[in-house]
Structures are given as C-alpha cells and as structure tokens.
Structure 1
Amino acid sequence: MAAAPAPRFDAIAFFTGHSEGRAKLKTLFSAPVDVRVVSDGTVEDGTLHLVQTVQEGGKPPRQRTWTMRETSPGHYRGTLSDARGAVTGEAEGNRLHLSFTMKGGFPTEQWLTLSPDGHRAHNVMKVRKLGLTVGVLVEDIRKD
C-alpha cells in the first residue's frame, strides 16, 4: 500500500498521550492470539517516552518501554526494551516504517498507516528468523 501525502505521520505527536491497540498475533505453527496494548506517552526535551502494558492471550500482562526522537524531518531513532540495539524509523506521508532486532536475534519491521482523521493507526509487524517470517501482528491503534 502506497503512502498518502496527508496526514503526515508524526510518531511523537501520535504516541503522546493515551492510546490503545487491539491486535491478532499469528506465529508459525500456532493459532492466532488476541493482543491488547495500552500505551501512555510523554515528551521530555523532544524525546518520546512510551510505556506500554501488553496483554497477549492468557499470559500475564507485561510492560515494555520505548524512547523515540526525530533526528531529522521524518527520521526517527530510539530504543525498545524488547529490542537489541537501536530502533530506526522513517515516515513518508501517512506511513511510518520502524525497524529493529528483537532480543533473541529476530529482525522485526513495523508499518503503521495513519487514518485520515489522525486518531487511528493500522499496524502490521513482521518478525523474521533466518529469513523466514515467524510472526505477524495486525493491530488497530486508537488514540484518545
């Protein structure tokens, strides 16, 4: 799907405040699992600090944290507590592409598409191992 020129996906603005995501996670050789993500983001000195509570199927909730900073127009760099190394991102129009490596060595990419009203984002995350897609998460994120 090609990016639309507007609205511009500003990751810092979108994830500041409260948002909730509902998703389906499909991993290799497993049935799809419901996932709920509750996020609260604040900005300090231009850096987004995002705290998420993730409820995956019947597992106990867990927390993860992100930091993200716009390094140049439409380009982002940050961290994720579930990742090894940096998170990088690039926005083009209403789409945001994030790349990182999960702990355990799983290359991961996310494509988020901002809705025309700017209050929702469609997220598709793909996790790979040895070039094979081993997990796909499809999520609808809604901002309060």
Structure 2
Amino acid sequence: MRNINFYSKLLSIFLIALGLFGCSSPSVTQYAKEKPNLDLSEYFNGTIDAYGIFTDRSGEVKKRFTVLLVADWKVVDGKKVGTLDESFEYSDGTKQKRIWTLTEIAPGKYIGRADDVVGDALGESAGNALNWAYTLALPVDGTIYHVQFNDWMYLVTPKVMLNKAKMSKFGIDLGEVTLSFYKR
C-alpha cells in the first residue's frame, strides 16, 4: 500500500512537470544562428505592406485586414529610436491607426510604446526572430479589454517577414493574429 502511494505521488509530480514544460514557449535565443539576420532598424525602415487575419481560438477567421506601415529611425541620446506609423484597413471598411515608438535599449533588446499599449512592450531579437510581449487596450463593441500579446516575427527573406501573435486574457487563449510583411 505504501509503494502504491509513493508511485502515485511520483506520477502526479511527473505529470505536473510535463504539463509545465509543455506550456513553455520557445526562447528567442534558439534562433540566434538563423539567417537572414533581423535588424529591426533596417527592416522596419521605409514603406512596408502587411496582410493579416485574426482567428478566434477555434481557428475561425473573424477579421481580415491590410496594414500600410511607414517607418524611420534616428539616433537619440546614443540609442536607436524608431517610429512605425501603422494604418490598418479591415475587410468591413473600418480603419485604425497605431504609431509605435521603438527604442533599442541594448543590442537585441527593445522597448516599444503606442497609445493603445498598456505600459511598455518588451522585445528581444536574435538571428531571424523577434519576440514581443505586451498588453493591448483592445476595443470590442464599445468596451476596452486589456489583452496580452505574445508576438513572434520571423524574417524569411530580406523583404518578407511572417508574424504570429497569440492573444490571451487571464492566461486563456483568445485567438491569434497572423501577418505577412512585405518591404517595398
């Protein structure tokens, strides 16, 4: 009886550990050797077109949209600072604007700010990848919800980048945003 209790506890600990490891996300450093190398101030400079969808947690497409992104970078107090001016147009005809200010605080480490971002967006890049984590104040039917984004971008060619962002609230998956960027 004692051995059964011991093995039952051991199995429980193993299953909990397995569940925790299964929920972990990749680290941006695992992409350090991937090419082409993503330099945010190089890629997000000039005019970029993006095409995207939002899918709910069941995978159903809920919104389609395009983005015209105009970006430039300057050196301010010895740091690279970028402005990304995004103009969204949704398939239902609605429009939205977001202007990001990105600051490189250390090589491969970024802080991003925008009017509808709560606090700072924190980003890290390595190799061809960039990971952003931030909270967005998202308007839905007249109510503002604060939702968390885990945003991954991968440079595929010098002109093409793919973006997949998971959206959640209280740890519950709400859906995903998928974007393809094309640098003119």
Superposition TM-score, scaled by structure 1 size = 0.90
Contact 1:12 1:68 in 2 (8 A): no
| Comparing 29-38 and 41-50, the one that deviates more | 29-38
Aligned length: 143
Superposition TM-score, scaled by structure 2 size = 0.72
Aligned partner of 1:75 among 105, 109, 113: 109
Distance in 1, Cα, partners of 2:146 & 2:97:
20
Partner in structure 2 of residue 38 of structure 1: 68
Which of the two has higher C-alpha Rg? Answer: 2
Gaps of 5+ in 1: none
| Comparing 29-38 and 14-23, the one that deviates more | 29-38
Partner in structure 1 of residue 126 of structure 2: 92
* Identical counterparts, % of pairs: 21
Of structures 1 and 2, the one with the larger relative CO (CA 8 A, separation 6+) is: 1
Please state which structure has a larger fraction of its residues in strand.
1
Q: What amino acid sits opposite 1:126 in the alignment? A: K
1:17 aligns with 2:51: no
Distance in 1, Cα, partners of 2:59 & 2:36:
36
Partner in structure 1 of residue 153 of structure 2: 112
Gaps of 5+ in 2: 1-25, 138-144
Cα pair distance change 1:29/1:114, threshold 3 Å: closer
Q: What amino acid sits opposite 1:14 in the alignment? A: Y
Q: What amino acid sits opposite 1:58 in the alignment? A: D
Secondary structure at the counterpart of residue 174 of structure 2: strand
Secondary structure at the counterpart of residue 105 of structure 1: strand
Contact 2:59 2:175 in 1 (8 A): no
Please state which structure has a larger fraction of its residues in helix.
2
Note the aligned Cα RMSD (angstroms).
1.8
